[in-house]
Chain A
Amino acid sequence: MDLTELTITQAHKGLKKKEFSSVDLTNAYLEKIKKTDKELNAFLSITEESAILQAEQADIKIASGNFGELTGVPCAIKDAILVKDQKCTAASKILENYIAPYDATVIQKLKKEGAVILGKTNTDEFTMGGSGENSAFGPTKNPHDKTRVAGGSSSGSGAAVAANEACFALGSDTGGSIRMPSSNCGIVGLKPTYGAVSRYGLIAHASSLDQIGPMVKSVEDCKMVFKVISGKDSKDATSKDYSFEDLKISLKDLKIGVPKEYFVKGLDPEVEKIIRDAIKKAEDQGAKIEEISLPNAEFALACYYIVVPCEASANLARFDGIKYGLSEEGKDLLDVYLKSRGMGFGPEVKRRIMVGTHSLSSGYYDAYYKKAQEVRHLIKQDFAKAFEKVDLIFCPVSPVPAIKIGEKSEDPLSMYLMDIYTISVNLAGLPSLSLPAGKIGNLPVGLQIIGNHFQENKILAAASYIEKI
């Protein structure tokens, strides 16, 4: 038996029956990482020593008989989430040697459950990107085709789970950063409702959209991780008092909306066929399918790429060469700022800081930022109206499967256009899942299932049926 192929459910069963220990499991993953990750570049750091220590403690917990589903199960953490005493780089030169002084709330929760942390995974720098290529430490390769990207920004988490280098992973999603790599790598990824999971200890990108979520091998695993990491946290004022409860419904009870604006020019015909087939299968199982309209969909991308850089330019002002990270010598304070940030940030981060600074500057604020906020409101209303009629929305995650490494890296706007189906969900604060739905050759394609606020249970109930078809 190859231990690294197990889902959380299977690993938990094996640990319970004492077929193997957490140390066995952990060693199996560490060996796997050593064997395959040189090529994939999914991990930025491997925390072998502390992983073994955590596994030994987990084995003691398991022996006591009082343990949870994640106890002793090895996982990987996106390198934008703080794990105490470990490096946290956000895949940026400016934080290359930064050691996290505390645990993010999600990490505290995983540690309390006794999960084993194998290491930190690659990402687009400061989670800004859709392909993983914006990492200052090189792109993550797609395990299904190593000439292609893993998808971003949670590229390393997606590739690590798909390549059996971790049993599960955490990612973060500001505009598709969990769903895109999940779709590209053929795994299950959930972007929870805004407020469902604490963001304390997640390096901020755009605070009104960021969410942490699970990246896993099955829908059942997704529930397990989400249950552990979700809930109110006094350290994140936007987190809500919420606990996940399984929903016992079948596809027959569900009305599924298919947005007509999402099936237009630009969508790869083979991706469209896989998504249409998945919708048809749900219909054959008794789900009611209804075409819906999201009339302001065409404005979502422009809206998103104003809101996000504005928030990012404010959030990233903290990286100044004074408080932490890279510090370059300068003749005066301003010079230290200019040089540290000029040397420390990569091209996409600089681009977003520039767009944000421009959009917020006097004379442009109304035309850009204020207008974008108005459009965001329209997009929220579109979804609110849609969810009056339907339970869930089905659509693609990405218009194309994983792209070739380097294919779009010189043209930022064409890269942004890949996010067309994922960004609206963040603007509206909705939960959404990427579920493997088929393949084009070797390349996986994800079906996106969007639900209403705090209806992760409905998404996961539907997904668990479709997963089995």
Chain B
Amino acid sequence: MNMISKEEVKHIAELARLELTEKETEKMQKDLSAILDYFNLLKKAPKPENFIEEKKGDLRAVRKDEVISSYDLIDELIAAAPDKKDDYIKVKTIL
């Protein structure tokens, strides 16, 4: 089994916005290695014909025009935010 490195796990965790403890990182390294190793099975799978064309067809079938209408849930949605002021959700300064 090809082991994924601890640095790689830490890098992915940062991309995924997850803080992992040292113990979690070690377990994740083991689990991810086994799972990614299993994915190698797909290399044996045949290449499908006409793949792209059919995919486009599928997407068209579920497309619909979205018309924005008034939404009466604004108060409830804002109430769910952990930090807020008046009608606004508060976010830490990013600049």
Cβ 8 A contact of A323, one of B18, B19, B81, B92: B81
Q: Which residue of A lies closest to B32 (CB)?
A: A354
Per the bound structure, the CA–CA distance linking A86 and B31 in Å amounts to 36
A305 and B39 form a contact (CB under 8 A): yes
| Cβ distance A182 to chain B, nearest Cβ, rounded Å | 27
Contact B92 A372 (CB under 8 A): no
Contact among A326, A338, A358, A375 for B17, CB-based, below 8 A:
A338
State which of A357, A381, A412 has its C-beta within 8 Å of the C-beta of B16: A357
A305 nearest in chain B by CB position: B35
Q: Does A286 contact B (CB under 8 A)?
A: no
A142 CB, nearest partner CB in chain B, Å: 26
A299 at the interface (CB under 8 A from B): yes
Set A350, A368, A374: member contacting B18, Cβ < 8 A: A350
B17 close to A238 (CB less than 8 A): no
B89 engages A101 (CB within 8 Å): no
Within 8 A of B (CB), among A83-102: 98-99, 101-102
Task: Of the listed stretches A260-268, A274-282, A328-336, name the one at the interface; the rest are far from the partner chain.
Answer: A328-336
Given contacts A101-B76, A322-B82, A413-B35, contact A357 B15 (CB under 8 A): yes
A373 to B47, CA, bound (A): 11
* Per-position 1/0 for A301-319, Cβ under 8 A of B: 1110110000001000100
Residue of B nearest to A351 (CB): B31
* Residue contact A350 to B42, C-beta cutoff 8 Å: no
Of B20, B32, B36, B92, the most chain A CB neighbours within 10 A belong to B92
Task: Name A372's contact: one of B28, B42, B55, B63 (CB within 8 Å).
Answer: B42
A144 contacts chain B at the CB level, 8 A cutoff: no
Q: A378 vs B32: C-alpha distance in the bound complex, in angstroms?
A: 26
A345 at the interface (CB under 8 A from B): yes
Whether A358 pairs with B12 at a CB distance below 8 angstroms is yes
Residues of B within 8 A of A16 (CB): none
- A373 partner residues in chain B, CB cutoff 8 A: 51, 55
The docked-state distance in angstroms from the alpha carbon of A296 to that of B48 is 11
Contact of A358 among B14, B32, B82 (CB under 8 A): B32
Q: Which of A302, A327, A336, A339 contacts B38 (CB 8 A)?
A: A302
- For chains A and B in complex, what number of residue pairs have CB atoms within 8 angstroms? 136
Q: Please, how many angstroms separate the alpha-carbon atoms of A342 and B35 in the complex? A: 21
Cβ-closest chain B residue relative to A360: B15
Q: Mark B72-92, 1 if CB is under 8 A from A, else 0.
A: 010011011111000001011
CB contacts (< 8 Å) of A302 on chain B: these are 38-39, 41-42
**Do B18 and A354 touch across chains, with their CB atoms under 8 A apart?**
yes
Q: Please, how many angstroms separate the alpha-carbon atoms of A373 and B51 in the complex?
A: 9
Closest partner residue, chain A, to B54 (CB atom): A377
Given contact pairs A305-B35, A350-B28, A338 touches B18 in the complex (Cβ within 8 A): yes
Q: A352 to chain B: closest CB distance in Å?
A: 10
Are B12's CB and A357's CB within 8 A? yes
Is there an interface contact between B12 and A413, defined as CB atoms closer than 8 Å? Answer: no
Selected from A338, A381, A413, the residue in CB contact (under 8 A) with B48 is A381
Q: State which of B18, B38, B82, B94 has its C-beta within 8 Å of the C-beta of A321.
A: B82
B20 neighbours in A (Cβ, 8 Å): 342, 350
Asked if A325 CB lies within 8 Å of chain B CBs, one says yes
Task: Mark interface residues in B47-71 (1 if CB within 8 Å of A CB, else 0).
Answer: 1100100110000001110100000
Instruction: Indicate if A298 sits at the interface (CB-CB under 8 A).
Output: yes
Q: Which of A306, A338, A351, A361 contacts B39 (CB 8 A)?
A: A306
Q: Are A350 and B47 in contact (CB under 8 A)?
A: no
Given A322-B91, A338-B17: A377 in contact with B64 (beta carbons within 8 A): no
| CB pairs A–B below 8 angstroms (25 shown) | A98-B80, A101-B76, A296-B46, A298-B41, A301-B38, A302-B39, A302-B41, A302-B42, A313-B16, A323-B81, A327-B82, A333-B91, A333-B93, A338-B14, A338-B19, A347-B24, A350-B18, A351-B28, A354-B18, A354-B32, A355-B35, A356-B16, A357-B12, A372-B42, A413-B34
- Footprint of B on A, CB under 8 Å? 98-99, 101-102, 195, 237-238, 296, 298-299, 301-303, 305-306, 313, 317, 320-327, 330, 332-334, 336-339, 341-343, 345, 347, 350-351, 353-358, 361, 368, 371-375, 377-378, 381, 412-413, 416
